[in-house]
């Protein structure tokens, strides 16, 4: 099947590749590995009925890593095909824009925004919306790509040419995220972020390539110059 050549950062690619969301060795395999690392930052729910909002949830790749943690998992995305797939994996789907969330203030116990900040022109607006809907004391979890030479080289020049890496032209390096601006923006909205880097285990990846491992661990690193995570709790009044 020949796919259309789309502009950089065109979200239509996710619809073109809808059959890849849960393909074990498909084009979105690395998103599953990153989702597992993201979920490690999410503790078990503190109360019955706790709400976790999963922004840009895609095909619901976070869902299996939240099993048993006790959250009502609501996923928001623009892609109708992705939302149908997410629903099949236990996510309550909501179609909407991450820059204009269709949720009331302070309704969520956890807000997760994984691999989406680098796809919007106004990441601080997304950040502000995520914190707006987060209750005081609630947890914000992010991961994205740093606006550095290493971020551009590792996420585009290298990763787009590797098995399990992102499809070509999915990212526009001009949208990669300034770490200092992100941390400062979150602080102004009442969340102090802790930031750390992420990288795939080289040994796991080699074993995955030859079919000896079903997935690859994403390991924490001191360097945040490429792929990085951030998390923090909203200040209480």
Intra-chain end-to-end CA distance of the chain, in Å: 55
CA distance 52 to 71: 6
What confidence tens digit (pLDDT) does each residue in 138-193 have?
999 999 999 999 999 999 999 999 999 999 999 999 999 999 999 999 999 999 99
CA distance 24 to 214: 7
Q: Which CATH superfamily is domain 12-233 in?
A: Vaccinia Virus protein VP39 (3.40.50.150)
Mean pLDDT score of the chain, rounded to an integer?
96
Give the mean model confidence (pLDDT) for residues 129-138.
98
CA distance 116 to 76: 12
Of 96, 60, 62, nearest to 78 (Cα)? 96
Q: What is the pTM of this model?
A: 0.96
Give the whole-number percent of the chain exceeding pLDDT 70: 100
Give the mean model confidence (pLDDT) for residues 22-50.
95
* Predicted local confidence at residue 1, as pLDDT: 57
Q: Which of 3-12, 13-22, 60-69, 130-139 has the lowest mean pLDDT?
A: 3-12
């Amino acid at each position: 099947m020949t796919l259309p050549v789309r502009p950089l950062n065109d979200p239509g690619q996710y619809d073109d590749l809808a059959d890849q969301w849960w393909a074990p060795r498909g084009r979105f395999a690395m998103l599953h590995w990153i989702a597992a690392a993201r979920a490690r930052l999410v503790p078990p729910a503190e109360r019955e009925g706790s709400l976790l909002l999963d922004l840009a949830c895609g095909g619901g790749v976070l869902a299996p890593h939240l099993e048993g943690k006790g959250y009502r998992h609501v996923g928001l995305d623009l892609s109708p095909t992705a939302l149908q797939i997410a629903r099949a994996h236990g996510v309550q789907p909501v179609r909407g824009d991450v820059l204009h969330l269709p949720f009331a203030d302070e309704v969520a116990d956890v807000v997760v925004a994984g691999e989406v900040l680098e796809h919007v022109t106004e990441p601080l607006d997304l950040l502000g919306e995520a914190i707006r809907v987060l209750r005081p004391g609630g947890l914000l979890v992010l991961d994205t790509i740093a606006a550095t030479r290493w971020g551009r080289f590792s996420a585009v020049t290298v990763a787009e040419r590797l098995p399990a890496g992102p499809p070509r032209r999915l990212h526009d390096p001009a949208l990669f995220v300034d770490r200092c601006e992100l941390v400062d923006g979150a602080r102004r909205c009442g969340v102090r972020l802790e930031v750390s880097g992420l990288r795939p285990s080289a040994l796991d990846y080699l074993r995955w390539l030859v079919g000896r491992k079903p997935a690859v661990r994403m390991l924490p690193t001191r360097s945040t110059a490429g792929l990085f995570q951030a998390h923090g709790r909203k200040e209480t009044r």
